[in-house]
Structure 1
């Protein structure tokens, strides 16, 4: 540990499929200890407490406090039912079972958002011709942070009077707004299948399958029993035209939703794209459809053309953001990285 008397904070980034653990040294400007990171499958454990015990056993680490970034709505800061896995998590229950002094629960995209102030240029790449945002050139800034994993996460990130503030949302569950004739046909099919259709039904891992099945039906083609991995692999090697069309369509819808969020949150300073599925989608986002539909906002097109979209390529942005939150909770400022 770089701080002689620092007590490490346990970090968790809990999604629908995986949970990642690490330690933070809040006395460091770069608080995430990368060599402490471990990943576990949610399905291998009955509870989060069991997974934490396994992490401590595997690594020999210990901690007195924890910051848990969880994929779900945090109720009263105390409990969360994970949206896409069966775990229910209680901060007080974890304190008792693991003999921790304190447990802080936050939404997973609150953590993704709070990672942004600690991200340097090596961990960011532009999606489109706009330059990377300058996070030090205005006292008031507003960003959108969003991205696909097992579900679709959305947060707002605000800089106000030198303080970073994150808005925890469930924007991924907002209703899908069709923008093209094909969107309407997709919506009809998903509506027949699911009833209400949210953005998350398309912009996530399983969303690839939902789109593939809808597009196959629209084209009158037989659908294979493909997994998301099958679809992206066949799209990448060009062996299946319908898979190519599926990933292109997801990229376009992703752009539309990202642009809508800029309008809704006033995120004129930029959009940070993140999430577990982003590395697979990134080459397709750069091929034009994402930015075209992002900018296609009628009377706001010229404004949207100036809004940068940026992919986060840090290996553990959720844990980095949890570490940032732990540092803020310790009363310490977030210091920008030295690129």
Structure 2
């Protein structure tokens, strides 16, 4: 017996999330959700087999799947960024006995979630009117950008036209870091010898938060103090004037500056959306004002950026839901 359900997965550098969904559903369900740490499995195949083995006995094995991965998908060979997993799409599909396996970029999935979000899934940052619904009606055309720091820094775009959403794939998180202040220039001077080329992701991501903290301490003349991202956040709460708090403040400003650049690059005049667990965890710092100030600080184009809404996606499984929306055929590709 073959299962008419679709297996969907959202696979990042740290976690892999799985669920079953239904094709053609207007609001795709996420049944039998499960998240696993990628470090616990030698390969993606092992993680998928583990998930399938946990399904209730009444569930037959799905015959089709869509996996969203933190990587550019340009051919059959896929290597996940910030994760040792690598695989052939064709071989993995055969190993899992799937009739069809579609692999997409994780921010294609994240951008695909826009049509199925509700108002409660979004929180506006700044004093700008809430972005119009991505589910635009016939005859309307809108453009959005999606920028999300997680294990890496994801970037995507969405054009909504004639009631359908078209996703624009991107690896924009790997563009070069552009300092916007004298202090940020000093941070770059610290990071250049270490990395050679410093991308935006080197600072604006979960792993980037550690790099940023190390650089802040160096620029401020403080000794090294290795901390994890959760430890940096905890230290910032304990000492609002200390280097950890300064790091989170700078992080929010860098994210705002980068999001504004992405808005201009895509022509995303209708809104920029910010998904990801890192964004949600740092929401108080993003709301504090530096994010929006730097988002709008674009010189001659500042007036345009002032009118662009920025919203944080609060849905806890936005990537997985976006993968399900893509799989259900709710977006064009």
Q: Say whether the fold is shared (TM-score over 0.5).
A: yes
Q: Does 1:235 align with 2:233?
A: no
Whether the 8 Å CA contact 1:113–1:145 is kept in 2: the answer is yes
**1:134 positional shift:** 1.2
Q: TM-score, normalised by structure 2?
A: 0.94
| 1:133 match: secondary structure | coil
Whether the 8 Å CA contact 1:232–1:243 is kept in 2: the answer is yes
Separation in 2, partners of 1:178, 1:122: 34
Separation in 2, partners of 1:252, 1:236: 18
- In the alignment, what sits opposite 1:183? 184
Whether the 8 Å CA contact 1:6–1:26 is kept in 2: the answer is no
- In the alignment, what sits opposite 2:123? 125
Q: Does 1:72 align with 2:71?
A: yes
Q: Does 1:44 align with 2:53?
A: no
Separation in 1, partners of 2:169, 2:296: 25
| 1:7 match: secondary structure | strand
The CA deviation string for residues 61-111 of structure 1, in whole angstroms up to 9 with x for no partner, is: 4211000000001023x3321011111132211221111100000000000
Q: Within 5 A, what are the aligned runs for 1:98-137? A: 98-135=96-133, 136=136
What stretches of structure 2 of length at least 5 have no aligned partner? none
Q: 2:54 aligns with which of 58, 73, 96?
A: 58
The CA deviation string for residues 165-221 of structure 1, in whole angstroms up to 9 with x for no partner, is: 111110000001111101110111111111000000011112111111111111111
- In the alignment, what sits opposite 1:200? 201
Whether the 8 Å CA contact 2:3–2:63 is kept in 1: the answer is no
Alignment RMSD? 1.6
**1:236 positional shift:** 2.3
Whether the 8 Å CA contact 2:10–2:319 is kept in 1: the answer is yes
Whether the 8 Å CA contact 1:13–1:70 is kept in 2: the answer is yes
What stretches of structure 1 of length at least 5 have no aligned partner? 335-339
Using the TM superposition, name which of 200-209 and 103-112 deviates more: 200-209
**1:32 positional shift:** 2.6
Q: 1:176 to 1:239 in 2, by over 3 A?
A: closer
Whether the 8 Å CA contact 1:126–1:309 is kept in 2: the answer is yes
- How many matched pairs? 325
Q: Does 1:12 align with 2:9?
A: yes
Q: TM-score, normalised by structure 1?
A: 0.92
| 1:10 match: secondary structure | strand
